[in-house]
Amino acid sequence: MTAVVAERTVDERLDLLTEQVALIADELRQQRQQRERWADLVSDSAPVVSGAFDMVSRELESLSDDVTVDDAVRLARTVAKAVPTMEALLRQLESLSSLGEEIAPLASPAMATLTATLQEFDDKGYFTFAKGGADIVDKVVTSFTEDDIDALGDNVVLILNTVKEMTQPEVMTLLQRTALTAQDVDEEFAEAPSTFALLKQMRDPQTRRGLGRVMTMLRTIGAEQSAPKSETER
């Protein structure tokens, strides 16, 4: 009984030893494969590294006339001194990035509102009117010479006063009535009226009043030119 137990113990030890030897052999095999891969990598990268060193050497040699070691050291010191500034800039960029992320949800509705407003303006014709206005301004600008602009500057006060007088309610009402009457006259007098018809209209008080106004205007036009009255004189 004791011999059987001892034999099993020996067999178990042999099995354990065999497993450990197998593990050691596998570990050695993996290490050998890693060394082989590393050797292959070194062998493959050696030409690349050599070429890189050659290129760096050529570049440094070409720069040797313009850049010295002192210049490189001074550049390194400048970069080292600028590190805090660069860190501060990076922190500001991070802050701006965070701000952009916070504003993005708010910017989307604002952009939608702006797009809708621009579309509404386009539907109403604002942009078409602006384009037409720009064309009109371009035609006006190209139609005036330097002398015309100087003359306009000399008479701008007179022009503004004339426009002011023309935009008075009485004048605008008279112009509107005149325009409407001209349209009606064109339709009414498709043919030239007779002398008797004209004499008959002279009996109308409004016709005589209109002739009186026309005569007054003709007298004003025919009068000698004089300096326009100022606001205080009126």
**Residue 73 DSSP class:** H
Residue 57 has pLDDT above 70, yes or no: yes
Cα(156)–Cα(150) distance, integer angstroms: 10
Task: Report pLDDT for 224.
Answer: 64
Question: What pLDDT score was predicted for residue 189?
Answer: 58
Say what the pLDDT of residue 232 is.
45
CA–CA distance, 192 with 202 (Å, rounded to integer): 16
Does residue 5 have a pLDDT over 60? no
Write the pLDDT tens digit of every residue in 20-36: 888 888 888 888 888 88
What is the chain's mean pLDDT, rounded?
Answer: 77
Per-residue pLDDT at 178: 76
Distances, alpha carbon 192 to alpha carbons 184, 186, 202, in Å: 14, 10, 16
For residue 198, how many C-alpha atoms fall within 13 Å in the half-sphere facing its CB? 6
- 234 band by pLDDT with thresholds 50, 70 and 90: very low
For the residues of 130-188, what is the DSSP string, one character each? HHHHHHHHHHHHHH--HHHHHHHHHTHHHHHHHHHHHTSHHHHHHHHHHHHHHHHHHHH
CA distance 233 to 37: 109
For residue 154, what pLDDT is reported?
81
Give ∠ CA 166-187-184 in degrees, rounded to 5. 35
Residue 231, pLDDT score: 46
pTM tops 0.85, yes or no: no
Report d(CA 215, CA 221) in Å as an integer.
10
At residue 233, the pLDDT reads 46
